[in-house]
Amino acid sequence: MGLGAYVAVSAALFAIGIVAIVTRRNVLYILMGIEMILNAANINFVAFNRFGDNGLDGRMFAIFTIILAAAEAAVALAIVLNVFYLFDTVKPSDADLLRE
């Protein structure tokens, strides 16, 4: 299998993530969408590392990204909790204070 297949999977995963972020009504789905996008990036890092001549760089970045995703998930969930306390909902369309 060539590099194209990996990139295709990655692109699909990225697109699914974007769609999830933009369209879903529940904030948890949005977080999932974010995770998908990060993993799409990971697939790219690993694939390009496998097919390229770059030592361990790609894999190291993938590991960083996973750690970053974990931290992001923790912070995001805390935000979600606060949003829930504040608005009594987790629908992103209802939390529209930025409009003001």
Partner 1 sequence: MLGFVQSTLAAGATGTLTNLDFQLLLAVLLIPLVGYTLQIFLRDKLPHGDKILTGGMFVVMCITVYLASKAIGAVHDGLPFLNHSGDVGMEGGWLYQAADVPSYMNVVVGIFYDPLGAAMLAVVGIVSFCVHLFSMGYMQGDKRYAIFFANISLFTFAMLGLVLADNILFLFVFWELMGLMSYLLIGHFSHDQSSSFFHKWATWASKKAFLTTRIGDCCLFIGIFIFYREFQIAWEGSAAAQAALPDFHPLRFTQMWEMARIVVAENGGEFPAWMTMAGLFAFGGTVGKSAQFPLHIWLPDAMAGPTPVSAMIHAATMVAAGVFLLGRLYPLFSPDVLATVTIFGAITALFAASIGIVCYDLKAVLAYSTISQLGFMVAAVGLGGVVAGMFHMVTHAFFKACLFLSAGSVIHGCHHVQDMRVMGGLRKKMPITFLCMLVCTMAIAGIPFFSGFYSKDAILLAAWGNLIEGQFFSGWPILALACLALGAMFTSFYMFRLIFMTFFGGYRGLEQEHLYTEMLELDGFEGPEPHGHDDHGDGHDDHGHDDHGHSQEVHESPPVMTIPLCILAIVGVPGFAYLVNGWFTHTVTPVSMYGAEVGAWVNAGLPTAIADHNSQLGHTAHNLALIVSLIVASAGVIGAWYFYILRKDLPAKLAHKFHFVYLTLKNRYFIDEIADAGFIRPTMRLAVVQRWIDEHIVDATVLAVGKLGKAFGFLSAWFDRTFVDGVVNAVGLVSQSFGNAVRLFQTGRIQQYAAFAVGGGILTVAWLILS
Q: How far is the CB of 32 from partner 1 (least distance, A)?
A: 14
Sign, CA dihedral 74-76-80-85, equals positive
Give 49 or 83: the residue with its C-beta nearer to partner 1.
83
Interface with partner 1 includes 71 (CB under 8 A)?
A: no
**Distances in whole angstroms, Cα of residue 90 to Cα of each of 55, 56, 68, 73:** 43, 40, 23, 16
Token pair, residue 13, equals 């995963």
Specify the 3-state DSSP secondary structure of 92: coil
Q: Residue 88 interacts with partner 1 (CB under 8 A)?
A: no
Residue closer to partner 1 by CB (options 60, 84) is 84
Residues at the interface with partner 1 (CB under 8 A) = 18, 21-23, 30, 92-93, 95-100
